[in-house]
């Protein structure tokens, strides 16, 4: 079978590799489409201790069950599924509470084992989640990224809040939608890339230009500041902007992978009694809710995705890394 193999920073190669086998308790997913995530892109751009080459990345995948291992219901053969890519131990306190994203033994498909940028891959059967027949592939593939947005907004946003989303890549744009689903009164958004900003604005947010962002936020909130900041960029400059834009007592959620460390103005944190929280991936509940929202028509995929054949994967990664476009890439596999 064919797989797009990550060989090191800025190197992807289409290779012929052996077919996977469904071990006991596993299924083989025949991929239909796999979306490129910002975290895959992060791995493509620079060496990361979390994505060790050679590796088949990809954790946002829709496919069909092509083989079942011992102990898996053979009725599942042919079932259309979305990948739920966190594999957790199932036994620890975090797992038992459903917080699979906090499992210390957690693994991610497409990072710790081969993932969806291949025609086929094997996963434990519960990681292949059946999807309703009326839900198109191109929408179902947003289940995992929307679950990320759900995980943040479920905790961050209360009815009537003014929310400021910093960074309007696919996750930022999904944050805008999710913030409205959680009844935010107003959502402001900023980004340095005008095309990306325009897309998030089309999701219903108010545009904050990246030049003079703080002044624009101050004007938009009558000098009060915002209730919630969702930082989907994660650079020193955006940490600072978030802290300046937040009202006293406000809440800041960090989800962007921009920089691993840097200066934070803690005088402002304590002076404003701001709360800074991290957000990583999603829980079982977020994933289920995300799939439910999509099945209920919370999003259409219009304008979100650009389909690219698997063979053009390397170029697609380069375009995303160098030009921030197209917005979100969907590799075609089936
Ligand atoms: Zn992802
Ligand atoms: Zn666990």
What DSSP letter does each residue of 201-258 carry, written as one string? HHTTPEE--STTHHHHHHHHTTTS-EEEEEESS--HHHHHHHHHHEEEEEEEEE---S
Ligand closest to CA 39: 1
Q: Does the pLDDT value for residue 304 go beyond 90?
A: no
Sequence ranges of the domains in the chain: 2-142+301-332, 148-278
Ligand closest to CA 95: 2
Q: Respond yes or no on whether the N-terminal peptide bond of residue 26 is cis (omega within 30° of 0).
A: no
* Cα 284 to ligand 2 centre (Å): 12
9's tokens: 């920073």
* Cα 281 to ligand 2 centre (Å): 14
Question: Among all chains, which residue has been given the structure tokens 């090191």?
Answer: 8
Contact at 8 Å (CB) between 152 and 230? yes
Ligand closest to CA 169: 1
CATH architecture of residue range(s) 2-142+301-332: Alpha-Beta Complex (3.90)
Q: Whole-angstrom Cα distance, residue 145 to residue 150?
A: 9
Q: Whole-angstrom Cα distance, residue 201 to residue 207?
A: 6
Q: Respond yes or no on whether the N-terminal peptide bond of residue 326 is cis (omega within 30° of 0).
A: yes
pLDDT band for position 43 (cuts 50, 70, 90): confident
Ligand closest to CA 107: 2
* Cα 137 to ligand 2 centre (Å): 30
Q: Does the pLDDT value for residue 47 go beyond 80?
A: no
* Cα 38 to ligand 2 centre (Å): 25
Does an H or E element contain 259, and which? none
* Cα 301 to ligand 2 centre (Å): 33
CA 261 to chain centre: 21
**CATH match of 148-278 with 3.40.50.720:** yes
pLDDT at 264: 97
* Cα 166 to ligand 2 centre (Å): 32
* Cα 85 to ligand 1 centre (Å): 9
* Cα 111 to ligand 2 centre (Å): 17
pLDDT at 268: 97
* Cα 39 to ligand 1 centre (Å): 6
Q: Whole-angstrom Cα distance, residue 139 to residue 89?
A: 29
For 170-206, how does the pLDDT look when each residue is reduced to its tens digit (9 = 90+)? 999 999 999 999 999 999 999 999 989 998 999 999 9
CB within 8 A of 49, min separation 6: which ones?
A: none
* Cα 321 to ligand 2 centre (Å): 33
* Cα 295 to ligand 2 centre (Å): 29
Residue 14: phi and psi, rounded to 5, are -80, 120
Residues in the chain: 334
* Cα 92 to ligand 2 centre (Å): 4
Q: Does the pLDDT value for residue 211 go beyond 90?
A: yes
Which protein residues have a CB closer than 5 Å to ligand 1 (ion)?
A: 37
DSSP state of 51: B
For 228-285, how does the pLDDT look when each residue is reduced to its tens digit (9 = 90+)? 999 999 999 999 999 999 999 999 999 998 999 999 999 999 999 999 999 999 999 9
Q: Whole-angstrom Cα distance, residue 307 to residue 62?
A: 14
Nearest by Cα to 34 from 132, 125, 115, 136: 115
């Amino acid at each position: 079978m064919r797989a797009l193999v990550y060989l090191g920073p800025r190197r992807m190669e289409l290779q012929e590799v052996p077919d996977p086998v469904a071990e006991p308790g596993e299924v083989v997913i025949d991929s239909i489409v796999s979306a490129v995530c910002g975290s895959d892109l992060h791995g493509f751009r620079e060496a990361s201790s979390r994505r060790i080459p050679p590796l088949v990345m990809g954790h946002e995948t829709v496919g069909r069950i092509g083989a079942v291992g011992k102990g898996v219901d053979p009725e599942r053969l042919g079932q259309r599924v979305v990948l739920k890519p966190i594999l957790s131990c199932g036994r620890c306190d975090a797992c038992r509470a459903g917080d699979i994203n906090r499992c210390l033994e957690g693994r991610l498909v497409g990072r710790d084992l081969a993932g969806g940028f291949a025609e086929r891959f094997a996963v434990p059967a519960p990681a292949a989640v059946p999807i309703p027949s009326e839900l198109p592939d191109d929408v179902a593939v947003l289940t995992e990224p929307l679950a990320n947005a759900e995980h943040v907004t479920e905790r961050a946003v209360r009815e009537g809040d003014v929310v400021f989303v910093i960074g309007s890549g696919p996750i930022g744009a999904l944050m805008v939608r999710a913030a409205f689903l959680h009844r935010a009164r107003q959502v402001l958004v900023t980004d340095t890339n005008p095309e990306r900003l325009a897309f998030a604005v089309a999701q219903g947010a108010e545009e904050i230009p990246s030049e003079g962002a703080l002044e624009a936020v101050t004007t938009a909130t009558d000098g009060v500041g915002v209730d919630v900041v969702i930082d989907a960029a994660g650079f020193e400059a955006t940490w600072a902007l978030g802290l300046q834009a937040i009202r006293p007592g406000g809440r800041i959620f960090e989800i962007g992978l921009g920089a691993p460390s840097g200066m934070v103005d803690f005088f402002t944190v304590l002076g404003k009694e701001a709360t800074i929280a991290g957000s990583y991936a999603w829980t079982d509940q977020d994933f289920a809710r995300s799939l439910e929202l999509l099945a209920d028509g919370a999003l259409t995929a219009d304008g979100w995705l650009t389909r690219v054949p698997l063979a053009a994967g390397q170029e697609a990664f380069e375009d995303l890394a160098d030009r921030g476009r197209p917005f979100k890439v969907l590799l075609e596999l089936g």
